[in-house]
Structure 1
Amino acid sequence: MSCRTKPFCHTPNSCKVLLIGEGVGITYGQRMLLAAVCSAAVATIYVAQPVLAQIGRDLRVPESDLGWIVAAGQIGYLVGLAALVPLGDMLDRRKLIGGQLLLVAVGMLVAAVTSTAWLLLIGLATTGLFAVVVQTTVAFAADLSAPTERGRTLGIVTSGVIIGILGARVLAGFLTDLWGWRSVYVTLTLLLVVLSIVVLKQLPADPRSNRRTYGDVLTALGHLFREPLFISRGLIAFFLFASFGTLWSGLALPLAAGPWQLSTAQIGMFGIAGLAGALGAARAGRWADAGRADPVTGVALALLALSWLASGQATWSLWMVIVGVIVLDFAVQAVHVSSQSLLTAAYPGRTSSVIGGYMIFYSLGSALGATATTTMYSTSGWTGSAVLGAGFALGGLLTWALSRRTVTRTRHDTAGHRSVRTGAMQKEG
């Protein structure tokens, strides 16, 4: 057999072929770099939430229209999930990640220097559009990893996403108190530019040799919505992040009200409690590598529902809220890592499309949680919001229970296909 994969040849008579979706390994430093990329990119979408009042006063935006400042980034992100993430199955992802980080930085810079609300919205929509570099990064990390350590890699890289979402609140509150809201956007602009340069210098080249057309990738993405495993994990993500959004988009309301009347910076500090839960859940990646992704999902969803018993006490106990936040973010991270581990293993060769499609469910769930919690709070107080968040969690738990056979069958099929490919290669070698 002639060898067409020279970088992986080690002897004249043998040839190791890099199977798509079965990477050769990734270093700890590269994992941390990819996690940092995810953290910085996703922070750009959420960093406006704790400083909306300051932006509104500076740019003379009516209070009733402040929601559009957050919505602009989310809308851009949703468009990017469908239109840009599939590019990861076509192009060299190292260059794609570096280029998209620079484009996110451009959007941040526009937001930092603008003097008008409409230009701010354009900058934030641009930021959201290219912030989907997060999903390209997650898919790249999965493909670079050896199968036995894919879950561990996803656990570390996905921790960066949660750190970015929660850390954005802490960073924004701190910098705004010191130098104003524009300093938040300037800081992120500089960080994104630096990360872009480091990515191009430190990450390995994309290991894939085949490329597909944009039409083929979009067609394959459409076909995923007929796959039982993809749909079930997508629905779990929808309920998961609806519950997540219910907490983090609504928690500031009871904390800013009596008896606490906390400031923006003080409310942002609750993100630290969430970080503790998210970092602890990095262990979920190792559980996924050990073949326990499905049971971990069920246990974590049950914990998610129970966390609301503590978070729902925000009107009388801050300590209970802290406990609820830690448990909720641990559960969200564990389910998120487990789902992505199952999906990237089941659909090798199109991980960017799979992750992008999966995150569409995430985006829709987050939007539902964010809008529903404020409506529920206005009519039923924080108790109503807590019931809503727990209801979303139970919806995810029910979806998991009904889909367990699908996950088991898909795992067996994936293992069988891998064995067939490996056996065929050994015969050819």
Structure 2
Amino acid sequence: MNQDPLGRKLVWIMAITSGAAAANLYYNQPLLAVIAQSLQAPSHATGWIPIVTQIGYALGIFLLVPLGDLMEKRRLILTMLVLTSVALVAAAVSLNLAWLLVASLAIGITTITPQLIVPFAAQLAKPQQRGRVVGTVMSGLLIGILLARTVSGFVGASFGWREMYWLASGLMIVLAVVLSRMLPKSQPSLRVSYPQLIGSLFKLIRQQPILREASLAGAMSFGAFSAFWSTLVFFLAQPPYHYGSEVTGLFGLVGVVGAAAAPIVGKIADKRNPKLTVGLGLVITSLSFLIFWVFGYHVLGLIAGVILLDLGVQTTMVSNQARIYSLPSDFHSRLNALYITFYFIGGALGSFLGAYGWSRWQWHGVCAMALIMLGVAFTTFIKRRQR
């Protein structure tokens, strides 16, 4: 494969694509109350939509992303964009909650394009630029996730939740056309059967302690992130706020401030030990939930907390991936598949624990569940540092 550094234009196209594709996983969160009303379903039942989506994403990452080491990456990326478009259409025409849950699972399974693009970009970049390139692409990814809530909140309030899925489906087709003209072709690094490919994943888990540590820290960090965002719409619907989906989505714009720091974090990780920035990210994320707990019933408290939350999660994410991509490039796709699989299992767990905390203790319960998950991540980080 061409080892020349990536051009700035291609890096930004990959970042935009990653963000737009990842957004498909999060359009549903500000729409849950609207969907519940439209399909005449209870709020606790519609709360399974983001959970099922994240479970599907974890399955797709584990079963499909390793194909990036076995197949030509450009063709695989284009194929998955088209399949995601089909899944989004299925969600748009859902007649009941069960149908929408199945479609959400399909959306999760097929929306793996960002996790094919990230290792592809890392492999194309020069070693001394890898952190910056990964940080830029990841910045696009997280900004896409955050803007997804803003866009879907506005579209859901103005036009309806089905229209959001139709728009997302069309965007996937546009991206497929653009990428078909811009992405370079790759040469697969492996020549093995698919069962052997999947079997090698378990060997990598046993052999790579950096992967195990990064996966657990990332999973718990993203679990806390998901606990917040999957329950925010219900929190803001109650006193003292009484906000609708469009206002909930606007909080995604606030988080862009923190997400935009990813290239800076990547540069720091290039120059210093990324383990240090992992710990910094966990501290910042924990601080955000302490602010949510104490000042969450004030708008300024929520705004400050959202900025710190997205900054902390992004710092942990980019630093973990910088560590992973320092390992041999021959299995970057498989390493990324494992890391992101655990990452979104953590996200699904966080959504579940957030919903549980909300049902039992309301907002303080959500914050407590998130802090417990972050405690697990930080304890693992300290244990590794001592070893």
Q: TM-score range by the shorter chain?
A: over 0.9
Structure 1 residue 174: deviation in Å? 1.0
Aligned to 2:353: 372
Structure-2 change in CA distance of 1:212 and 1:142 (3 Å): farther
Per-residue CA deviations over 1:207-260 (Å, capped at 9, x if unaligned) read 556544323321221112212111111111121112112221223333221112
Question: Residue 350 of structure 1 aligns to a residue in which SS?
Answer: helix
Question: Residue 373 of structure 1 aligns to a residue in which SS?
Answer: helix
Deviates more, 1:397-406 or 1:168-177: 397-406
Aligned to 1:258: 239
Query: What is the alpha-carbon distance in structure 1 between the residues aligned to residue 358 and residue 52 of structure 2?
Result: 23
Is 1:144 aligned to residue 124 of structure 2? Answer: yes
> Aligned runs of 1:28-427 on 2, under 5 Å?
28-208=8-188, 210-226=190-206, 227-404=208-385
AA in 2 matched with 1:304: T
TM-score (norm 1): 0.85
Structure 1 residue 62: deviation in Å? 4.3
Query: What is the alpha-carbon distance in structure 1 between the residues aligned to residue 369 and residue 101 of structure 2?
Result: 30
Query: What is the alpha-carbon distance in structure 2 between the residues aligned to residue 306 and residue 213 of structure 1?
Result: 46
Question: Residue 403 of structure 1 aligns to a residue in which SS?
Answer: helix
Query: What is the alpha-carbon distance in structure 2 between the residues aligned to residue 266 and residue 199 of structure 1?
Result: 33
Unmatched segments (≥5 aa) in structure 2:
none
Unmatched segments (≥5 aa) in structure 1:
1-17, 407-429
Query: What is the alpha-carbon distance in structure 2 between the residues aligned to residue 381 and residue 73 of structure 1?
Result: 23
Question: Residue 282 of structure 1 aligns to a residue in which SS?
Answer: helix
TM-score (norm 2): 0.94
Query: What is the alpha-carbon distance in structure 1 between the residues aligned to residue 348 and residue 52 of structure 2?
Result: 12
Structure 1 residue 347: deviation in Å? 3.4
Query: What is the alpha-carbon distance in structure 1 between the residues aligned to residue 264 and residue 92 of structure 2?
Result: 37
Query: What is the alpha-carbon distance in structure 2 between the residues aligned to residue 272 and residue 280 of structure 1?
Result: 14
Query: What is the alpha-carbon distance in structure 2 between the residues aligned to residue 318 and residue 163 of structure 1?
Result: 21
Structure 1 residue 54: deviation in Å? 2.3
> Aligned runs of 1:5-16 on 2, under 5 Å?
none
Query: What is the alpha-carbon distance in structure 1 between the residues aligned to residue 235 and residue 49 of structure 2?
Result: 22
Query: What is the alpha-carbon distance in structure 1 between the residues aligned to residue 195 and residue 247 of structure 2?
Result: 48
Question: Residue 394 of structure 1 aligns to a residue in which SS?
Answer: helix
Structure 1 residue 325: deviation in Å? 1.0
Aligned to 2:5: 25
Is this contact kept in 1: 2:226–2:348, CA < 8 A? Answer: yes
Per-residue CA deviations over 1:30-60 (Å, capped at 9, x if unaligned) read 1111112221222112111211232233334
Question: Residue 345 of structure 1 aligns to a residue in which SS?
Answer: coil
AA in 2 matched with 1:280: A
AA in 2 matched with 1:252: V
Query: What is the alpha-carbon distance in structure 2 between the residues aligned to residue 360 and residue 322 of structure 1?
Result: 30
Structure 1 residue 89: deviation in Å? 0.7
Query: What is the alpha-carbon distance in structure 1 between the residues aligned to residue 298 and residue 99 of structure 2?
Result: 41
Query: What is the alpha-carbon distance in structure 1 between the residues aligned to residue 47 and residue 228 of structure 2?
Result: 17
Structure 1 residue 82: deviation in Å? 1.6
AA in 1 matched with 2:28: A
Query: What is the alpha-carbon distance in structure 2 between the residues aligned to residue 49 and residue 303 of structure 1?
Result: 24
Structure 1 residue 371: deviation in Å? 1.3
AA in 2 matched with 1:354: L
Query: What is the alpha-carbon distance in structure 1 between the residues aligned to residue 113 and residue 156 of structure 2?
Result: 26
Structure-2 change in CA distance of 1:212 and 1:290 (3 Å): farther
Greater RCO (CA < 8 Å, at least 6 residues apart): 2
Is this contact kept in 2: 1:314–1:382, CA < 8 A? Answer: no
If you compute each CA radius of gyration, which structure gives the higher value, 1 or 2?
1
Query: What is the alpha-carbon distance in structure 2 between the residues aligned to residue 46 and residue 313 of structure 1?
Result: 27
Per-residue CA deviations over 1:127-164 (Å, capped at 9, x if unaligned) read 21110222111111111111111111111111122122
**Aligned-residue CA RMSD in angstroms?**
2.0
Deviates more, 1:31-40 or 1:382-391: 382-391
Structure-2 change in CA distance of 1:315 and 1:236 (3 Å): closer
Is this contact kept in 2: 1:239–1:396, CA < 8 A? Answer: yes
Structure 1 residue 86: deviation in Å? 0.9
Query: What is the alpha-carbon distance in structure 1 between the residues aligned to residue 234 and residue 27 of structure 2?
Result: 17
Structure 1 residue 178: deviation in Å? 2.2
Is this contact kept in 1: 2:257–2:307, CA < 8 A? Answer: yes
Query: What is the alpha-carbon distance in structure 1 between the residues aligned to residue 315 and residue 31 of structure 2?
Result: 29
Identity percentage of aligned residues: 32
Query: What is the alpha-carbon distance in structure 2 between the residues aligned to residue 325 and residue 116 of structure 1?
Result: 33
Query: What is the alpha-carbon distance in structure 1 between the residues aligned to residue 59 and residue 370 of structure 2?
Result: 26
AA in 2 matched with 1:387: A
Query: What is the alpha-carbon distance in structure 1 between the residues aligned to residue 120 and residue 270 of structure 2?
Result: 17
Structure 1 residue 291: deviation in Å? 3.2
Structure-2 change in CA distance of 1:252 and 1:117 (3 Å): closer
Question: Residue 330 of structure 2 aligns to a residue in which SS?
Answer: coil
Structure-2 change in CA distance of 1:338 and 1:192 (3 Å): same
Aligned residues: 386
Query: What is the alpha-carbon distance in structure 2 between the residues aligned to residue 405 and residue 37 of structure 1?
Result: 39
Structure-2 change in CA distance of 1:287 and 1:353 (3 Å): same
AA in 1 matched with 2:138: T
Is this contact kept in 1: 2:286–2:371, CA < 8 A? Answer: yes
